[in-house]
Amino acid sequence: MRVQEYFPGEVNNHAYMLPLKITGTQDKYIVSVKVQGGGKQGQLGAAVHGIARALDKVDTEQYHSLLKKRGLLTRDPRMKERRKAGMAHKARARKQSPKR
């Protein structure tokens, strides 16, 4: 499936191509990415991060500083918080206390 079909919209297409545009390698490489889990924006972020890391591995000296400046080599550390025992249905949701 093409990127434009899976991530529709001009903004998403720009974000997907960002690592290649920054390094000036749009026409040099053909990119194939497989993502699963999460939502569309999370998958887009993971794909961009993966492309940036791959470019960094190809030529660290030339691309590392460019990608690092734009924050493309930094992984987003946010994860779903686990549900705690004794709580209601979600991680921070409290059980309703009786009114009387």
Q: Report the chain's mean pLDDT, rounded to a whole number.
A: 92
| Mean pLDDT to the nearest integer, 83-94 | 91
Evaluate whether 72 touches 52 at the Cβ level (below 8 Å).
yes
Q: Which residues contact 31 (CB under 8 A, 6 or more apart)?
A: 20, 51
| Mean pLDDT to the nearest integer, 8-30 | 93
pLDDT of residue 82: 95
Give dist(CA 71, CA 65) in Å, integer. 10
Q: What pTM was computed for the model?
A: 0.81
In the chain, where the domains are located = 3-69
